[in-house]
Structure 1
Amino acid sequence: MDLNADLGEGFGRWTLGDDEGLLDVVTSANVACGFHAGDPDTMRRTCELAAERGVAIGAHVGYRDLAGFGRRFLDVEPATLTAEVLYQLGGLDACARAAGVRVGYVKPHGALYNALVRHEAQADAVVDAVRAYDPTLAVLGLPGAVWLKRAEVAGLPVRFEAFADRAYTTSGGLVPRGRAGAVLHDPVEIARRCVQLATEGTVTSVDGFPIRARVDSICVHGDTPNAVAIASAVRQALTGSGVKLKPLDRENRSLTA
């Protein structure tokens, strides 16, 4: 099982979350690429810290929406979205290469992540960008998302993700952030859910129903106030239950690969 977190989401003098603390715990880092958050200094520093710790680097691509932190849907033309994802991939991969490693996978952020569950035109646009940049890159997303289905047909390596600190609907989607209880904060409860995901392949919905979930990676949001405590509790619970943690596709993403 992989344990990932959204990192590098500061901008200029403004910082968000404890990236160094999380990089001591997680096995993969979804690094913001400058569109929803992040800037060149932050991107390069985060890649260097991840490389030092043997943490896999993923491109956390999003809409061009710094003001909204990428959490607002944008009706971007597919060709433009393809170009914007290519731009983000190239920028982050340059920072990763400078640190002696490579970007190993792609994970959309925020509103783009949610849109790609059903939005076919944007799904195809993101798949086209990944294929054009590097068809060996893995793509990470919500099980059942249309973009992952398109990615699989296109021959891209597909990986499935669950969220440690988000509530699920009975249909397997994420409870919208505006609803009470959408984001979980208790490290003990979150760790228990993650063990259930890793060992049983299920998660309990907000209404109390068990949901089947095929999972390769579990995400802890880096902007949650107690993110390091949550990630640490999750890691300890997983390893204590006999779950082996492994970076997402890191074995294929060194500069010599």
Structure 2
Amino acid sequence: MVLFGTLVNGVLIVVGSILGLFFTKIPERYKETVMHGIGLAVILIGLQMAFESDGIIIVLLSLLSGAIIGELIHLEEGLNRLGTWIGSKFTTTNDNFSVAQGFVTASLIFVIGAMSVIGALDSGIRGDHEILITKGVIDGFVALVLTTTLGFGVVFSVVPVVVYQGSIALFATQIEKWLPEAFLNGLITEVTAVGGLLIVAIGFNLLKVVTIRIGNLLPSIFTVALIYYIYYII
């Protein structure tokens, strides 16, 4: 079953989020310190991913083009409105922002990254779900901690996770017919690097060092494919 790993990942996020609801009464100072710890770990993970790049110019052009597209279409505002709309169906008006923040933050953390891409590709190409199941265990734990701080909006992140990873897995069942292995390996490396820098940005936001509109940088995950293709054929 091509989507088995993706579905397990989604279920573990939901379970982690539900468990996190039972720990929302933890004192704020504990939540703040735990969130700082997560922020530091997220930055480390992002840096490790970013250093995998073989072409910094590809990463730079991807981020620049992605940022321009994101700002033009106001992607982050749209994500926040989506989160707020979801929140309005379950909470009072005063809680909507918290739900949106939880949804957007968790979605970015769970969707962006090497494990999402590589795991989904493994599921589709080789029928190996080990990476996505491992990612699901990690995501479940992170969802638990995020829910104690950001609220139950975190649970809605399961939707983009399942759609994103499921789409890649389904696409991967046909990808080897179109793309040579060398190109595919190089593309995964550069996507990982771009995703790593976005994860670093998430860490900075969690630490409240600076406010980065990460949502408006998301198109870079897709523009890197076009830029790498041009680089590959030149």
Structure (1/2) with the larger helix percentage: 2
Scaled by the length of structure 2, what TM-score is found? 0.26
User: Which has the bigger relative contact order, CA under 8 A and spacing at least 6?
Assistant: 2
Higher strand share: 1
TM-score, normalised with respect to structure 1: 0.25
